A and B are shown apart, each in its own frame.
Chain A
Amino acid sequence: AQSVTQLGSHVSVSEGALVLLRCNYSSSVPPYLFWYVQYPNQGLQLLLKYTSAATLVKGINGFEAEFKKSETSFHLTKPSAHMSDAAEYFCAVSDQGDDKIIFGKGTRLHILP
């Protein structure tokens, strides 16, 4: 069964610094991969998704992620953090043709002024 591991339950970066949130997946075949963001007291919103069309995926709010098959990774990055990026981020995986999406445990991103 597929799974995702997010390294670091909390990450702190300074405003204007690079954001890097790590995600590794476990799957026997290249899966579909997603990053979601959750702001306080809200549901999850899709940031970006990988569906095998391109290894570098650009999402909303300046975020992007790169699929690396050799490393089974799908890390999320943003060149310059903004205070409004403070939220919890979830990596998720789904096998092609599967009805279900499996979520990681989340990484809470803190932005320091």
Chain B
Amino acid sequence: NAGVTQTPKFQVLKTGQSMTLQCAQDMNHNSMYWYRQDPGMGLRLIYYSASEGTTDKGEVPNGYNVSRLNKREFSLRLESAAPSQTSVYFCASSDLTRTVQPQHFGDGTRLSIL
């Protein structure tokens, strides 16, 4: 029972490089989310997808794009990485068809931009 799986776990990029963070969930959840976590800032929502085929901006979407590939997978892309995007990125999923269903989190991707 894997839950939410994120790859890679660690990555170092140079400024201007691009990369895609992958996320997959095996709980048949409709909703998926990408957050970034910075010291003293808590978790801030980047993008979310309420269902397959839909995506919406969160609090800090600039510099990112997302793709909801299918119900299981939700990827986050940095087209031109900047040092300000150095952070820990978390993917999460929820089943909001139930009354209240909190989010299940992956273990994070630690990204450093030099």
Which A residues are closer than 8 A to B by beta carbons? Answer: 9, 32, 34, 36, 41-46, 49, 51, 90, 94, 99-106
The residue among A32, A94, A99 with the most chain B CB atoms within 10 A of its own CB is A99
The residue among B31, B33, B58, B103 with the most chain A CB atoms within 10 A of its own CB is B103
Report which of A43, A99, A101, A102 forms a contact with B90, defined as CB distance below 8 A: A43
Q: Check A105 against B108 for contact (C-beta < 8 Å).
A: no
Q: Which residue of A lies closest to B54 (CB)?
A: A99
Which B residues are closer than 8 A to A by beta carbons? Answer: 4, 31, 33, 35, 40-45, 48, 50, 56, 58, 90, 92, 94, 96, 99-100, 102-103, 105-108
| Residues in chain B near residue A51, CB distance under 8 A | 99-100
Q: Which residue of B lies closest to A6 (CB)?
A: B42
| Residues in chain B near residue A36, CB distance under 8 A | 102
Instruction: Tell me how many residue pairs across A and B have CB atoms closer than 8 Å.
Output: 52
Report which of A43, A99, A104 forms a contact with B42, defined as CB distance below 8 A: A104
- Measured CB to CB, the closest approach of chain B to A2, in angstroms, equals 13
Report which of B42, B50, B106 forms a contact with A90, defined as CB distance below 8 A: B42
Q: For the complex, what is the distance from the CA of A46 to the CA of B104, rounded to whole Å? A: 8
Q: Check A99 against B48 for contact (C-beta < 8 Å).
A: yes
Known contacts A43-B105, A44-B43, A99-B31; 19 additional CB pairs below 8 A are: A9-B40, A34-B102, A36-B102, A41-B107, A43-B90, A43-B92, A43-B106, A43-B107, A44-B90, A44-B105, A45-B105, A46-B102, A99-B48, A99-B56, A100-B33, A101-B103, A102-B45, A105-B40, A105-B42
